[in-house]
Chains A and B, each alone.
Chain A
Amino acid sequence: MADRDLLQLDRVVTHIGAYHILHGVDLSVRRGRVTMLLGRNGAGKTTTLRSIMGLWKPRAGAIHFDNARIDALDTPDIARLGIAYVPETMGIFSQLTVQENMKLAATGGRFDPARLDDVFRFFPILKTKWNDRAGLMSGGQKQMLAVARAIVEERRLMIIDEPTKGLAPAVIDQLIACLLELKARDTTILLVEQNFHMARSVGDDVAVMDNGVVVHNGLMADLAADEALQTRLLGLNLGSHQ
């Protein structure tokens, strides 16, 4: 594992029940960079993220975080290493208030005022809805809350699964602005995304998955510029999808 890599997956194999999903995933996430994980539906992107978080245990292979092996750890211990996870389903506690959702993500339930100010600057609506039940918010507001929970503390790695899914363009722009600012602060992010506009806007590196393996590694800018490569890897080109 190179020192520049914060996270590395080596030949990770994961089954979900009887289904063999990951067939030997090799993936590196470099420190201070945004790594996009792209691929068609069913390629194994979400399974890869869940395997990193220990929510589905790999049957073979190794996962290293900051040079320490983590694939045998339980999910809470992985999270305590400073890894924030925003699942595709957002994982919002709908019966709790926005404040209570945020408290659960803050160490000891205490907020760092500066970080909280950042959250409210990125997503002002959360301040307005602070004491409202999260279940009453719109899908976009819930996604903002899901990302806000991830950034309410200093994290060493953020893992985000399709944050723009089903959201209005204005909300997507807000999320992009937030991620760009995090990127400017050298936050390490592993981001699964189907929205190419976002992928191109925030991605530094890219890995493309197909049939449970990573079939391409490179720079996001190179993939965005190569329509033939996009078509071969993803079955479409980025330029036609905004």
Chain B
Amino acid sequence: MSAGRIASTRLSGIDWPANLLLPILALAALPFMSFSTWLTLTVAGAAMGMMLFLMASGLTLIFGLMDVITFAHGAFISLGAYVATEVVGALPGMAASHSWVASLAVLAAALTAAILVTGVAGLIFEIVIIRRVYGSHLRQILITVGGLIVMQELLVTVWGANPIPVQKPAALQGSVEIAGAAIEIYRLVAVGLGLAVYAGLWLLLSRTRLGLTVRAGVENLEMVEALGFRVKRLFVGVFVAGTALAGVGGVMWGVYQGLVTPAIGPEMMILVFIILIMGGMGSVGGAFVAAILVGLITNYSGFLVPKLALGSNILLMVAVLLWRPRGLFPLVKS
């Protein structure tokens, strides 16, 4: 199955041009640098892409099924990052230990706590705000921007406005040498986690009845209801899952950055929306490919043409939209 077709399964034929874009971009950069530099930049770009995917996957799922555009997603990313500061700070012995088991356990504890906290926060947000604005994009944008501001102020109230440091667990610091290239261990962990989440979503959406219902709902919500499925409950579940994924992204990004501020999530939202638009609004597989594209182009352009680095993602998005106006893997809606 095509990587870009999780939410919109394509069973006959693979969309080769869209799927080949990623390897073409990676290979196109190789002649302009040494292999070890290319490998370092590619792994770093993939790792950044995976962290972006973790942040974007929930949002694209929410849009794909619920047709809800939420600008408050960034606040859930920040919340996840703050939870990481609490959990890592509460386990200083384990975080300082050079044991792999202890370091991964600290990270797992932070991820689990973030999933719970951002999931519950997402549930409250859906009940209090989102369910009142179904079907109206303008109202969704306005009220979720308001919700973002309120949530950010709540984060400031709880954790203060000053940056809070969070250290990487000791065994995840430093780098390893692979084929002459220095690769940060934490980036490898991020790649592993991103792939695991992608695989989990793929299995959930393509191999379970719940996933079948979600895929059907993305296409024709009304008919799913007419078949007896209580879509409102599904909506709540998807929104909670989406915010929990934002929390996971927040943990990984917060620990990677080493400093957490209330703006750590909202600052990422421009890239997250670029990924959503470029991948095809609502497509989880599209978000996966687009997130890695963004990670790679940022690193390659930062190395080759530093002045272009800032706008490289916008240029990539423009190029993709000129080629495919609805994104790389657009969803089919009835």
A interface residue numbers (CB < 8 A to B): 53, 55, 74-77, 79-80, 85, 87, 89, 91, 93-97, 100, 103-105, 108-109, 131-133, 135-136, 149
Whether A80 and B228, one on each chain, are in contact in the complex, defined by CB atoms closer than 8 angstroms, is yes
A70 nearest CB across to chain B (Å): 14
- Asked if A79 meets B227 with Cβ closer than 8 Å, knowing A93-B216, A132-B11, the reply is yes
A135 to B333 alpha-carbon distance, docked (Å): 12
Q: Is the CB of B212 within 8 A of A100?
A: yes
Which of these binds chain A: B192-200, B218-226, B305-313?
A: B218-226
When each residue 306-334 of chain B gets 1 if its CB lies under 8 Å from chain A and 0 otherwise, what string results? 00000000000000000000000000101
With known contacts A91-B220, A94-B219, A104–B12 Cβ distance under 8 A: no
State whether B226 touches A55 (Cβ < 8 A). yes
- The answer to whether B12 and A76 have CB atoms under 8 Å apart is no
Kindly state the separation between the CA atoms of A142 and B18 in the bound complex, as whole angstroms.
29
Given contacts A55-B222, A74-B230, A76-B228, 14 further A-B contacts (CB under 8 A): A53-B226, A55-B226, A75-B222, A76-B230, A76-B231, A87-B226, A93-B223, A95-B215, A96-B219, A103-B212, A104-B216, A104-B227, A133-B9, A133-B12
Q: Tell me whether B226 and A85 are in contact (CB under 8 A).
A: yes
Question: Are A104 and B226 neighbours in the complex by a CB distance under 8 Å?
Answer: no
From residue A107, how far is it (CB to closest CB) to chain B in Å?
8
How many residue-residue contacts, CB under 8 A, span A and B? 75
Residue of B nearest to A89 (CB): B334
Structural contact, A91 and B11, CB atoms closer than 8 A: no
Contacts of B332 in A (CB 8 A): 94-95, 135
Residues of B near A55 (CB, < 8 A) are 222, 225-226
In the complex, B139 has a CB within 8 A of chain A: no
Across the interface, which residues of B come within 8 angstroms of A104, CB to CB? 212-213, 216, 224, 227, 229
CA distance A49 to B219 in the complex (A): 22
Asked, given contacts A96-B215, A97-B11, whether A91 binds B209 with beta carbons under 8 Å apart, the answer is no
B contacts with A, residue count (CB < 8 A):
25
The answer for the CA separation of A95 and B230 in the assembled complex, in Å, is 21
Q: Return A153 CB to nearest CB of chain B, in Å.
A: 10
- Please name all residues of chain B whose beta carbon is closer than 8 Å to the beta carbon of A103 when the two chains form the complex: 209, 212
Q: Give A242 to B30 CA distance when docked, in angstroms.
A: 69
Does B57 interact with chain A (Cβ within 8 Å)?
no
**Complex CA–CA separation, A136 to B224 (angstroms):** 20
Query: Which chain A residue has the least Cβ–Cβ distance from B206?
Result: A100
A16 to chain B, nearest CB (A): 14
CB of B10 closer than 8 Å to a CB of A? yes
**CB of A77 to closest CB in B, whole Å:** 8
Contact of B10 among A76, A91, A133 (CB under 8 A): A133
A95 touching B10 in the complex, CB below 8 Å, given contacts A104-B212, A135-B332:
yes
Docked complex Cα distance between A74 and B231 (Å): 10
Chain B min CB distance to A86 (Å): 9
Give the shortest distance, in Å, between A17 (CB) and chain B (any CB). 12
CA distance A110 to B278 in the complex (A): 38
B224-245 interface mask toward A, CB cutoff 8 Å, 1 = contact, 0 = none? Answer: 1111111110000000000000
Min CB distance, A202 to chain B, in Å?
Answer: 22
B152 within 8 A of A: no
State whether A96 touches B9 (Cβ < 8 A): yes
A82–chain B nearest beta-carbon distance, Å? 9
Query: How far, in whole Å, are A89 and B219 apart by their CA atoms in the complex?
Result: 13
A96 and B216 form a contact (CB under 8 A):
yes
The winner among B11, B12, B223 for most chain A CB atoms within 10 A is B223
Inter-chain contacts of B222 with A (CB < 8 A): 55, 75, 91
Are B9 and A95 in contact (CB-based, < 8 A)? yes
A110 to chain B, nearest CB (A): 10
Instruction: Find the B residue at minimum CB distance from A133.
Output: B11
B-side contacts of A149, CB under 8 Å: 227
Known: A93-B216, A94-B334, A95-B215. A75 touches B10 (CB 8 A): no
Minimum CB–CB distance for B136 against chain A, Å: 14
Q: Given contacts A95-B215, A95-B219, is CB(A76)–CB(B229) below 8 Å? A: yes
Query: In the bound complex, how far is the Cα of B12 from the Cα of A89, in angstroms?
Result: 23
Q: Does B70 lie at the interface of the complex (its beta carbon under 8 Å from any beta carbon of A)?
A: no
Within the assembled complex, what's the spacing in Å between the Cα atoms of A53 and B213? 19
**B8 sits at the interface (CB 8 A):** yes
Report B264 CB to chain A, min CB distance, Å. 36
B226 close to A75 (CB less than 8 A):
yes
Please state if B209 and A79 are interface contacts (CB–CB under 8 Å).
no
Contacts of A74 in B (CB 8 A): 225, 230, 232
A104–B225 CA distance with the chains assembled, in angstroms? 11
* B1-41, CB < 8 A from A: 8-12
A26 CB to closest chain B CB (Å) equals 24
